[in-house]
Structure 1
Amino acid sequence: MAVYRIVEVGDEVLREKAVYVAKLGPHIEKLLDNMRDTMYANQGVGLAAPQIGVSKRVIVVDVGDGLVELINPVIAEAKGTQIDNEGCLSIPGMVGEVMRAEHVNVKGLDRTGNETEIEASGFFARALQHEIDHLDGILFIDKAKNLKKI
């Protein structure tokens, strides 16, 4: 597959609400494959389609427990709070403390169009929330405190 250039802060696509995916097929499967390859090539733990310049509601996440692919993901439930440092492939060299839910229930579609539901806690929950924020044009720097260069 292909490794795409990561779109960086300042590009308008990162601030747009991504488009709902109404029809699945080979084009979405290829997008998921390219997003996976791009995320791994850049040593990321998550990637949203807008980060490669594609305004679609698609994310990939791998926090070390295997690849998760979600189309049209939504946070159905969020509980608790956690504060930790975050960074972003689209904002290289910056980190900041972000408050997120400790536990989330996320619903969406897998690459075959089957409905899927994920219960996540801790770092996995944080990564899902971060990527879903991208789909709504929200960057971690919008929520971060104590931003600093690394």
Structure 2
Amino acid sequence: MPYHLPPLRREARVATTPVVAFEWFTTRIGTWWPRVLTAFGGSLGFVEGQLEEHSADEVHVWGEVITWNAPHSLRMAWRQPAHDEEQRTNVDVMFVPDGPSGAIVRIVQSGWNRIPDPASSSRLYGGDRGWREVLTAYTTAVAGGLAIQRPDM
């Protein structure tokens, strides 16, 4: 019987509504996603149902959007550009209300058995240089962006 790794779960709180949190995660992803966590040093963006990395004259697909349920959730078939087309995991991003002016952004990555060396990939995404670093960059950008938009805070 094949070994199946459990889903990887990471979350962070932002001091804004799920609507704004979703907008920052999706339409502004190219402004906050750490360049060191891209495959080719490019910037990410959602374009026509795909999460793409644009670098120099090339476009590399990171994910195919399966479900776009703004402002509640986003589901992607996630593929590192170095992997074959069928070697994808699932990435679910949920935006859950947390009080009147907060949201929990929850990322769940699953389907590790479909990629090469699933244990190493799970450790990579679960470590400090994976979803933790992504969420730290995201929460920092959201906090900074909201402070700029609302200087009275």
Give the alignment's TM-score, normalised by structure 2.
0.26
- Larger Rg over CA atoms: 2
Give the alignment's TM-score, normalised by structure 1.
0.26
